[in-house]
Structure 1
Amino acid sequence: MTNTVRPRPLIELTAAVAASPEVVLAAVEAAIRAAGGGRIEVDRVRRTVAVQGGWWYRGEYEVEATAGGSRLTHRVRNVARRGRWAVPLANRLFVGYRARTSCGFTAFVRDLNVEFGGPERSTLET
């Protein structure tokens, strides 16, 4: 991680995926690379993928092993070095940012579960 202090997430979402952590990590990395943009960091030991772009955005994905496959957690952090205070304000003005992030994550998890034979609906924790 670029910053030594990890700012508290603006958004944190977690859901179950019916596949091994290695498979889920590879799928997350592939999806981020396909989307393009930003600097991508992959830590296979910790099972994390992060993408950082723009002046404030850092999206982090963490994969943990569970009895039924994996738990995928997505966090959005404000890593702005200047004007940090403006990010939460700007995001409130971008009405629906949290909802769009949640919908995108839910759709991604659903697609993974369909691909790997899990349930189409996964409980989303926020």
Structure 2
Amino acid sequence: MSRAPLCEVAGVVEAPPDRVGRLILTVGPGPVGRDNAWLYASNEGTVEPYGGAAGSYGGTAEGGPRRFILRAPAHTMTIEVTGATLAVQGGWWYRGEHTVEPHPEGTLLIHRVFNVAERGRWAVPLANRFFAGLGDRTRNGFAEGLRRLGLELGCGTRLL
């Protein structure tokens, strides 16, 4: 991706990259849950209707082998898995990428948010008041995801 991210946040997961990657990067056709598109499952790791906590989409992934459509009650998003990166894209402008990298303490997990609007890119911040506080909301949501990841893998995590 050649554009600079709107925001970026990272954290360390005290588990090997292959273990973290299996959880973060595993996406296949079927229900979203503990063994499929884990980032988009509920905090309990079960499929549930949209309307739960932020990041709890539930739904079903279709397609493959590296690009899928996530259909949930309130929206549809594209999921792409390329190497060590899982990207989701939806709506007019949003693209979020999670990248798994080696780190001396285990794994470095990086989350970046991009404005990928093809037309009217300049209008996205004007039309979307969501950008006010985007960095803080992204950081807080990522911190909660790190906490869940640590619980799921039985290891420590820390926000950078």
CA offsets 1:18-44 (integer angstroms, 9 cap, x no match): 22222222322423453343111112x
Any unmatched runs of 5+ in structure 1?
Answer: none
Instruction: Evaluate the alpha carbon distance shift between residue 23 and residue 48 of structure 1 in structure 2; reply closer, same or farther with a 3 A threshold.
Output: same
The count of aligned residue pairs is: 116
SS at match of 2:97: strand
Cross-structure match for 1:26:
22
SS at match of 1:28: helix
Cross-structure match for 1:105:
142
The structure with more helix, counted as a fraction of residues: 1
SS at match of 2:6: strand
Q: Contact 1:51–1:60 at 8 Å: present in 2 too?
A: yes
SS at match of 1:73: strand
Please give the root-mean-square deviation of Cα atoms over the aligned residues, in Å: 2.0
1 or 2 for the larger relative contact order (CA 8 Å, sep ≥6)?
A: 1
Select the residue among 104, 107, 116 that pairs with 2:153: 116
Match runs of 1:1-126 below 5 Å: 6-29=2-25, 30-34=37-41, 35=57, 36=70, 37-43=76-82, 46-91=83-128, 93-94=129-130, 95-119=132-156, 122-124=158-160
- The CA deviation at 1:12 is 0.5
Q: Within 1, Cα distance between the matches of 2:127 and 2:22? A: 32
SS at match of 2:98: strand
Cross-structure match for 2:64:
none
The one-letter amino acid paired with 1:7 is R
- The CA deviation at 1:75 is 0.4
TM-score, normalising length: structure 1: 0.79
TM-score, normalising length: structure 2: 0.64
Q: Within 2, Cα distance between the matches of 1:53 and 1:83? A: 16
The one-letter amino acid paired with 1:74 is H
Q: Within 2, Cα distance between the matches of 1:99 and 1:123? A: 13
Any unmatched runs of 5+ in structure 2?
Answer: 26-36, 42-56, 58-69, 71-75
Q: Contact 1:65–1:71 at 8 Å: present in 2 too?
A: yes
